[in-house]
Every structure is written in structure tokens, then in C-alpha cells.
């Protein structure tokens, strides 16, 4: 039997494991349920791929990131490892064949999007598979206390009874202590076992800047910090505006958001990864699964919705270990905008019901049907059709997602596929009797393997070139062969998908708990408060503040964030500073006094250092100077 390191070397050509990978793999091989917290880009996929390759049977991977699933499947196939993915947007027939191959074929990895788990068909077929491991990526999605709760994740526990006691490996980059507990509880861990890499990024400097003229400040930063960079913004319009400004100032840049077509998104992404484009300005649709090690700076143009999102996005800088910067630029209006956005995120129940009814009409879903069915869905077209505010629609749909009624996915490119429905003999007979299709069918057979057994990706352009005809004529032939039952032809698509997770109900039967809404709203505001507190922080190392949010307690300053840089200029060590600050507060809390009276009373350090501490405390509003020039502790 091969060792984990031998498997790693054979298939991935790595000579050693990253921190915690080998320990996680060994724990899984011993049959333990494991929760692994590894940073983005920390090699989470290796933790389930290696043990799965060492055991008989198939590994099931649950992931909400369709683009990442597709990349993983192609990556495994390139190594000769059979893998397949099932997600929104592919046909019921394709799903049926894919599941059959997992039961009776030699598929080693089955990637499933969470909304597929609600299907009785999927759960029935899983019970027939020889499952050796259940891997749950982005495991924080299972917790309502997490920052990206997805109700279909709650169905994962239902699978456990069908997988012959196979171990569960839950993976995430960010989880607070309460979320870590929740993940293990919801996934029915046999016993608690957590491997956690430190959330500390020693080479990453967190910098907060209060600034009104954000564009000029960004330009200053990019002129000072050389190398590749990312700028995160909230909306699509802003991505283009910032790029226009940067290009006018001779900064190589491009923009990216989910509204662009797949080919264009892919080209932009490749140009940035290769270094042809220096700066990418993007919404949060950009970055998942992209492991570019030499990003020197990540800038947040607005405050993010949560510290979890900030940590993940900021963490895309400096993965090569070289010093990098995570900068957020903010002003008073940002906090107002964040709170306003939070308020809009929770529409009235009457508005949510109105959107649900319009959705059923728009997609023509009869009452009592639609469960498990995915529909092409353009939110702009839908909003325009029913004269609804797009922001209201988006937020109402999000609440319907949280209630477990629907699932939304961003646009994902699904190539054209075909499968021949006849056997070899019947197809030959058809070709003999229908000469007009004979040459075209021969070209298909010469161009693609496996079209009798599975749906196979095709390119109409390639078939047109080989048959010396137009793309339009090629598509016409494919549609004609589909209509007469010779092939099943599924044209490419590149549009967001909406899946009904439950049967469509009459709107009067739609029960949305007001109490649940209030709880979610409260939790959302707590996350926003944590972001605002982080932005306003002037009393603690930013790295320490982030680590404490994720339950990692340390008193060691990073030394490179904006807070630490100010402290470093004072030429006091931490013990001197803290004891002097404590002494000053103790003096002033009982006897407010002028600066010239205070300084001689400080015994901890020399007077010149004492003055620096007082100045710092004044700058950071630890103490205040009253109208009569008396220093006194502030209420903060």
C-alpha cells in the first residue's frame, strides 16, 4: 500500500506536505471525522484527495463553488483520475448517467453542489455507492451563525446514513468558535477533532486609512507598492469607473464582475494571473479558487460586510510569504452605507411573498411542482418584467434562500454536450437511410470519444470547421438530429441558475418566520459592528484584533499594521508602553491635571518617553484635554 507522501508525489509531484496536511490525512485514514481550518490557498483539496486515492471506493465532495468544482474535476482528469461534477444547470438525463457511472463505473471523485442534495434520486444513488470519504468544502455554510449560511448544507447529515460510516472531512478557511462547534454538531461528528492552522499572516500588513478622496489615495498606494494588486468594490458600475481613472493615470488595470460573459471573464482572469494586467478591480465574484502567490496589495474601496469576508479577500495578498499589504479605505459615509445596506437586506415579509409569486409566474412553475428543478434566471430581466426594484428582488431572493426554498448560483459556462441515443447498429442503419446526415455523423464519431456512453462536451465551431460548413448550419444539424431522437443535444449556456429546493407553494401558504428574520438581522448587525469596530480601532494591533475575532488569543503584536507602525515610532517596548499607559490612567482617574503636572509624576519611564505615551493617548482619545487644559481619561 502506498503512503500518503508517495500518493502526493505520484499524482501531484510535491515532495512534502504543507503544515497540518499530513496530520489531517492520517486522522481521516484512521476513520475519524475531522474539521480542518486552513487558510485560503493552504491546500485544502489535498487533504481529501490523497486519502481518497489510498482507499477503495469513491469520495463525495460537497462544494457551493461551481467554477471551483469544474476546475478540480479538470485538474484530476489531467492526472488520469476519473472525476465528475453535478451542479445546477445540467440536465436530469446527464445527472442520471453521471450517478450511474459513480455506482457502476470507476469514478473516484463525485463533486456535488449542495442544492443537488435535496434530490431523492441523488440520495438513493449515493446509498448504492462505495463511499470512502465525505468531504465538505466551505463547511462554514452549514451554520446559521456563519457568514454564508446555505440551508441545503443541512441535508448533508442525511447522507451519512447512506455512506457506510465513511469519515467526514469538513474544510473551511474562516470560522469563529461558535461556528466551529456548530459545524461538528450539524455534521454529526462521532467525536470532536479540529486541526487549526493559525489565522495569523506574519507577512501581511493590515492598514486602515480614513480618506475622503479615495481614488487619489489608491493611486498613491499603487505608485508606492509595486507589483500585482486587487481592488474590491461593492458594485459592478464602480469597477469600471475605477479602472477608467487608473488607466488615465497610466496604471495597467482591468475590471471583473459576474455580469460579464464567461469567455471575457476567463480572458481577464488569465491576463491578471499572467501579469499582463497589473491591477484587477472587482466585486467579490472574483478570487475564489485563484491561487496567485505574488499579489502585493489588496485594497478594499468600501468596508466589507463581515470580518470573515475581509479576512478571505485580504488573504489573497502575499501567499508567497513576501511582505504585502491589505488596505481598507473608509470614511464616515461608508459606515452609513453599510448600515443602510444591512437594513435593505431584510425586506418586509409582504415584499418577499410578492417576489415569490412573481418568480413562480415568471418561470411558469405550477403549484406543487418544481422541486429540484433548475431554471435559467436573469434577475435584471425578471425585475424589469414585473416592475420591481432590483435591490429589493435580490434581497427577497436571498431571504428565500435562507428559508431553504430556492438556491441561486452565478452564471457559469456549461459547454455544449451531445450523447448518441442509438446503439452502433441502429445508428449505422440510420446513416445508410439518411445520406444527408451520414458525413456529419462520421465527423462527430471521429472527433469525440465516448458519445455512445456519456454526454460529451463539444464545440460547434470545431465541428463546423471539420465539416467545412457554418456554425449556424452545424447547430441546425445538431438540433435536427436531436428532434428525431438520434442524439441528445444540449446547447451551451452561460446564465445564472435558480433551483427550487421545495415544491412551489401557493403564496398564502408561504410561512416566513418573523422571529427568524429578526434573529438573522441581529446576527447581521453584529457582524457589521465587528467590521466598524475594526475600522475605528486605534488601541490595538489589527492582527491581534482579527485573531481574537476568530477565537485565537495572542498578545504578540504583528509589528507591521498601521497601529503597530505608530507604536514602533515611540521607541518603547510593549512592557514599557503598557505599564506607562496604565500608570497615566491610574493618576488621571482620580486627579485630572495639566501635562506639566503629570509628566513629573510618571515613574515608569524617562520623561521624554512619557511625553510620547501621553501624545499617543491624546491622538487615540484614550485621554482628553478639557477646556481648562486638564488631562482626563475619556469615556471610550
Q: With a cut of 90, say whether residue 355 has pLDDT above it.
A: yes
Dmax (CA) for the chain in angstroms is: 108
Confidence of residue 632 (pLDDT cuts 50, 70, 90): confident
Cell numbers placing 314: 485580504
Predicted confidence at residue 506, as pLDDT, reads: 94
Mean pLDDT of 471-492: 93
Predicted confidence at residue 636, as pLDDT, reads: 60
Say how far apart CA 622 and CA 422 lie, in whole Å: 80
Mean pLDDT of 427-443: 93
SS (H, E, C) 92-158: HHHHHHHHHHHHHCCCCEEEECHHHHHCHHHHHHHCCCCEEEEEECCHHHHCCCCCCCCHHHHHHHH
Predicted confidence at residue 591, as pLDDT, reads: 87
Predicted confidence at residue 108, as pLDDT, reads: 97
Question: Residues of 355-382 as b/e, b for ≥16 C-beta within 10 angstroms?
Answer: bbbbbbebbebeeeebebbbbebeeeeb
**Position of cell 438525463?**
93
Lateral strand order in the sheet of 406-409? 374-376, 497-500, 406-409
Q: What is the pLDDT of residues 75-112, one digit of tens each?
A: 999 999 999 999 888 888 889 999 999 999 889 999 99
Residue 384: CB atoms within 10 A of its CB come to: 11
Q: What is the pLDDT of residues 589-604, one digit of tens each?
A: 888 888 888 988 888 8
Q: With a cut of 70, say whether residue 289 has pLDDT above it.
A: no
Amino acid at each position: 500500500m502506498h503512503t500518503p507522501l508517495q500518493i502526493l508525489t505520484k499524482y501531484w509531484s510535491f515532495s512534502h506536505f504543507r503544515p497540518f496536511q499530513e496530520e489531517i490525512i492520517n486522522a481521516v485514514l484512521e476513520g475519524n471525522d475531522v474539521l480542518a481550518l486552513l487558510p485560503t490557498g493552504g491546500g485544502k483539496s489535498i487533504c481529501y484527495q490523497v486519502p481518497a486515492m489510498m482507499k477503495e471506493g469513491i469520495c463525495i465532495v460537497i462544494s457551493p463553488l461551481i467554477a471551483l468544482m469544474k476546475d478540480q474535476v479538470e485538474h484530476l482528469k489531467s492526472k488520469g483520475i476519473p472525476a465528475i461534477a453535478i451542479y445546477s444547470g445540467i440536465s436530469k438525463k446527464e445527472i442520471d448517467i453521471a450517478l450511474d457511472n459513480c455506482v457502476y463505473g470507476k469514478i473516484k471523485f463525485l463533486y456535488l453542489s449542495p442544492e443537488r442534495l435535496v434530490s431523492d434520486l441523488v440520495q438513493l444513488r449515493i446509498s448504492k455507492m462505495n463511499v470512502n470519504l465525505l468531504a465538505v468544502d466551505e463547511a462554514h455554510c452549514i451554520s446559521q451563525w456563519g457568514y454564508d449560511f446555505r440551508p441545503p448544507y443541512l441535508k448533508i447529515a442525511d447522507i451519512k446514513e447512506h455512506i457506510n460510516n465513511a469519515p467526514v472531512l469538513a474544510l473551511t478557511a474562516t470560522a469563529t468558535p461558535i461556528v466551529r462547534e456548530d459545524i461538528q454538531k450539524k455534521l454529526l461528528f462521532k467525536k470532536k477533532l479540529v486541526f487549526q492552522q493559525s489565522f495569523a499572516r506574519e507577512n501581511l500588513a493590515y492598514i486602515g486609512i480614513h480618506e475622503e478622496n479615495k481614488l487619489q489615495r489608491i493611486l498613491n498606494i499603487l505608485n508606492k507598492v509595486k507589483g500585482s494588486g486587487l481592488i474590491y468594490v461593492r458594485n459592478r458600475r464602480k469597477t469600471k469607473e475605477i479602472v477608467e481613472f487608473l488607466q488615465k493615470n497610466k496604471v495597467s488595470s482591468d475590471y471583473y464582475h459576474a455580469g460579464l460573459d464567461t469567455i471575457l471573464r476567463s480572458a481577464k482572469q488569465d491576463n491578471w494571473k499572467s501579469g499582463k494586467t497589473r491591477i484587477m478591480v472587482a466585486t467579490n465574484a472574483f478570487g475564489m479558487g485563484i491561487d496567485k502567490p505574488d499579489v502585493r496589495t489588496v485594497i478594499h474601496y468600501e468596508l466589507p460586510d463581515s470580518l470573515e469576508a475581509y479576512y478571505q479577500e485580504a488573504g489573497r495578498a502575499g501567499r508567497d510569504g513576501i511582505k504585502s499589504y491589505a488596505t481598507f479605505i473608509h470614511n464616515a459615509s461608508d459606515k452609513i452605507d453599510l448600515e443602510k445596506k444591512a437594513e435593505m437586506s431584510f425586506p418586509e415579509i409582504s415584499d418577499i411573498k410578492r417576489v415569490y409569486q412573481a418568480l413562480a409566474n415568471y418561470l411558469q412553475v405550477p403549484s406543487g411542482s418544481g422541486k429540484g428543478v433548475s431554471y435559467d434566471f436573469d434577475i435584471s430581466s425578471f425585475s424589469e418584467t414585473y416592475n420591481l426594484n432590483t435591490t429589493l428582488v435580490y434581497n427577497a431572493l436571498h431571504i428565500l434562500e435562507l428559508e431553504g426554498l430556492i438556491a441561486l448560483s452565478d452564471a457559469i459556462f456549461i459547454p455544449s454536450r451531445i450523447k448518441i441515443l442509438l446503439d452502433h447498429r441502429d445508428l449505422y442503419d440510420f446513416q445508410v437511410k439518411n445520406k444527408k446526415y451520414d458525413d456529419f455523423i462520421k465527423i462527430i464519431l471521429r472527433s469525440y470519444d465516448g458519445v455512445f456512453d456519456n454526454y460529451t462536451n463539444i464545440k460547434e465551431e470545431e465541428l463546423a470547421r471539420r465539416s467545412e460548413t457554418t456554425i449556424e448550419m452545424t447547430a441546425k444539424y445538431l438540433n435536427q438530429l436531436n428532434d428525431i431522437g438520434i442524439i441528445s443535444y444540449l446547447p451551451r449556456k452561460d446564465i445564472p441558475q435558480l433551483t427550487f429546493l421545495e415544491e412551489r407553494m401557493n403564496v398564502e401558504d408561504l410561512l416566513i418566520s418573523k422571529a427568524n428574520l429578526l434573529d438573522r438581522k441581529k446576527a447581521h448587525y453584529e457582524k457589521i459592528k465587528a467590521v466598524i469596530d475594526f475600522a475605528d480601532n486605534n488601541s490595538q494591533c489589527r492582527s491581534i484584533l482579527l485573531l481574537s475575532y476568530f477565537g485565537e488569543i495572542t498578545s504578540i503584536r504583528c509589528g507591521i499594521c498601521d497601529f503597530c507602525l505608530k507604536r514602533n515610532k515611540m521607541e518603547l517596548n510593549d512592557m514599557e508602553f503598557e505599564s506607562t499607559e496604565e500608570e497615566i490612567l491610574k493618576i488621571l482617574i482620580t486627579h485630572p491635571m495639566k501635562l506639566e503636572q503629570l509628566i513629573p509624576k510618571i515613574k515608569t519611564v524617562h520623561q521624554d518617553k512619557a511625553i510620547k505615551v501621553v501624545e499617543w493617548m491624546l491622538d487615540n482619545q484614550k485621554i482628553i484635554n478639557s477646556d481648562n487644559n486638564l488631562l482626563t481619561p475619556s469615556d471610550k
